Amino acid sequence: MHPMLNIAVKAARRAGQIINRASLDLDLVQVSKKQHNDFVTEVDKASEAAIIDTLKTAYPDHAILAEESGKSDNDSEYQWIIDPLDGTTNFIHGFQYYCVSIALVHRGIVTQGVVYDPTRNDLYTASRGRGAFLNDRRIRVGRRDRLADGLIGTGFPFREKDGVEAYGELFADMTRVCAGLRRAGAAALDLANVAAGRMDGFFEQGLHAWDVAAGSLLITEAGGLVGNYTGDSDFLHVGEIVAANPKIYAQMVPVLTRHSRTRQPSA
């Protein structure tokens, strides 16, 4: 395992212990609201602190972009992108679908990725050029080649509810062309499940880099494609993502393109 990936795994496991301990007595967890339907708990913060402490101990000069504490101001060519608890709303309710996501970006390219599911003790890892793994087993995207047979993951807009109508059209469009649409509530874990072949594709908008950075590397290292709704490779900071095996990806993009925020309005 790459030494930097090794440190990320150590950080993710530390965070997972904090999350699992807190999950044993959810009534004690302090919850506050960042904005409408966007919650943060003391567990998110403790998890993030443990991750940053682990990474900074090993790599004090590296930059950090984390969901709760934001962006560090050093200008290293290495940046760690962290979601300490993706699926906070699930966690608060005891719905066991949430994870820790840690990625390392080197000069704008994701080179290491870890998604850790503490409930199942499942560790998804990838290093650029070295394949994707679940625990120690190599994983590949699914082999289905027809979107009509595909199980597709997604997420609803939850912060800005006014986007629901437009999003409803997209759901209707996708529901007509795939075998099933699933919305489990943790994008990083959804991407890991696509990489492992358990879902055939995933799409969502309104996401941040920390939601998708690690998962995107899992996808590409598992033989899949990842991009924005127009099929372009620029997705990390544009707030929309589609991921699937190459054949399903090619069938999802035409459905998603007209809903893309990256399209230039026609003159």
What would the pLDDT profile of 113-146 be if each residue is shown by its tens digit? 999 999 999 999 999 999 999 999 999 999 999 9
Residue 127 covered by a domain: yes
Amino acid found at 165: E
User: Do residue 130 and residue 11 come from a single domain?
Assistant: yes
User: Do residue 17 and residue 113 come from a single domain?
Assistant: yes
Question: If pLDDT is split at 50, 70 and 90, which confidence band does 158 have?
Answer: low
Confidence (pLDDT) at 162: 60
Residues 208-232 have a mean pLDDT of: 97
What is the domain count for the chain?
2
Give me the half-sphere count of Cα atoms (radius 13 Å) on the Cβ side of residue 182.
19
pLDDT, tens digit, for every residue of 34-59?
776 677 889 999 999 999 999 999 99
User: What is the residue range of 166's domain?
Assistant: 147-257
Q: Which of 99, 117, 138 is the last residue of a domain?
A: 138
User: Do residue 8 and residue 102 come from a single domain?
Assistant: yes
Q: CB under 8 Å to 114, separation ≥6 — which residues? A: 5, 8, 9, 11, 12, 100, 101, 102, 103, 123, 124, 125, 214
* Full-model pTM: 0.95
Q: Which of 96, 117, 138 is the last residue of a domain?
A: 138
User: Do residue 14 and residue 36 come from a single domain?
Assistant: yes
Q: Strands, E, within 24-150: which ranges? A: 31-35, 38-41, 63-66, 70-71, 78-86, 99-106, 109-117, 122-127, 132-134, 137-138
User: Do residue 205 and residue 85 come from a single domain?
Assistant: no
* Backbone angle region of 58, left / alpha / beta, with phi > 0 → left and psi within -120 to 50 → alpha: alpha
User: Do residue 153 and residue 75 come from a single domain?
Assistant: no
- CATH number, domain containing residue 206: 3.40.190.80
Structure tokens at 90: 């699930």
- CATH number, domain containing residue 51: 3.30.540.10
